Amino acid sequence: MNGHVKNITGRPLYALKRHILPGKEIPLSELYTEYGEKHGIERGQPFADWLRQVKLPNKQIWEILYEDSPKEENKVTVTAQIMQVVDGDEKESEEKKEGLSNEEKAKSSRPHIKNEWEVEDIVALTVSKAREEIPKIRDKKLLSWALNVAKQTPNKETICRILEKRIDDLRVSQR
């Protein structure tokens, strides 16, 4: 199901059993697994309408966007074009690096890939998602930052316990 619910205010809000930061988007597919199946609502537009009417009626606070048709075809062609461009750049850069010293090669190498998780994302997880996702995260520093933020956020005691357990697991595995 394509679409999302977005907090369009400038302040964090509590709704749908979670804290939603300003500008944060929650996928409709995630909300459907929590609410749609429980209440027996059809996927798609009926579920988006139900959210608008029952759970999030204020249009000045919430933006509910639902897209009927998935646009997978366009994504595939754009991805293929990007892959071709990247492959071409790699060949050119390898040819250029052949004549460079080791220090120059290190400076011209690609930057480190950004971590897919941010502190706000971890703290905003629901308990069920946190139990699935937090054991997959291996960055102890990121988890400890998220723990510090979660301790200061109300109604995040369970997330704190999950984070503390994962940090302890990582400490034990690094010994």
pLDDT digit string, tens, across residues 3-30: 888 888 888 888 888 888 888 888 888 8
Q: How far apart are CA 169 and CA 165, in angstroms?
A: 6
What confidence tier does 48 reach under pLDDT thresholds 50, 70, 90? confident
Q: pLDDT tens-digit profile of 127-172?
A: 999 999 999 999 999 999 999 999 999 999 999 999 999 999 999 9
Please say whether the beta carbons of 67 and 1 come within 8 A.
Answer: no
Please say whether the beta carbons of 159 and 50 come within 8 A.
Answer: no
**CA geometry: angle 24, 29, 32, nearest 5 deg:** 105
Q: How far apart are CA 38 and CA 36, in angstroms?
A: 5
Predicted pLDDT of residue 109: 54
Q: Answer yes or no: pTM beyond 0.85.
A: no
